Amino acid sequence: MIIRKKFNFEGAHIVRNCTSKHCRENIHGHSYEVEVFLKSDALDNGFMVMDFVLLNNTREFIHSFDHSYTLWDKEPEKVKNAIKTVNTRIAEIPVSPSAEGYALLFFYVIDKIIAANIFINGEKNVRLHSVRVHETKSGYAEAFREDLPLVNFSLNDIKFSAGIQQEWKNQEWWNSLLKIYS
């Protein structure tokens, strides 16, 4: 059985090296929709794959991109410094912030969040099936487990500014995840 949870965020970025001159040369934003699909071949004591409350850290992770600038770590230092002087909410990531980059990054991180969950209600074999990132109403990218070989980074390569971290409800969730997977 597959279940889906939908999240939203508003974000800005530049997508370098893409075909569109507008996208590769200009800061612009989107209203993103992120769909997280979970799969299990069993149901828990509540007759669910899992309770959505167990996605609190996933929500926190995705919300970290809300009203934030997503900065590709390959940007020149002068661009990074300029962005950091005018923004308090910055997520610096090791992939280009295209829909495909987000989908792969989100799958990688959410997969680790799900694996780190402590299940206490009879949940069995819950795993991430896919992550779909809608950048526009007409287009999305979807990442699956078989896409993980495209990952050429670790959790330590993802940086959240103090402006993002200060708003986390649980200040330790990210550090806990880093400790598990370092």
- Whether 67 sits among the annotated catalytic residues: the reply is yes
- Whether 129 sits among the annotated catalytic residues: the reply is no
- Whether 18 sits among the annotated catalytic residues: the reply is no
One of 23, 75, 129, 167 is an active-site residue; which one? 23
One of 30, 63, 67, 129 is an active-site residue; which one? 67
Q: Nearest-5° angle of CA 82, CA 85, CA 86? A: 95
Among candidate residues 28, 36, 26, the one with its CA nearest the CA of residue 10: 28
One of 100, 123, 135, 142 is an active-site residue; which one? 135
Torsion of CA 154, 160, 162, 168, to 10 degrees: -100
C-alpha to C-alpha distance for 171 and 162, rounded to whole angstroms: 11
Catalytic center residues: 23, 67, 135
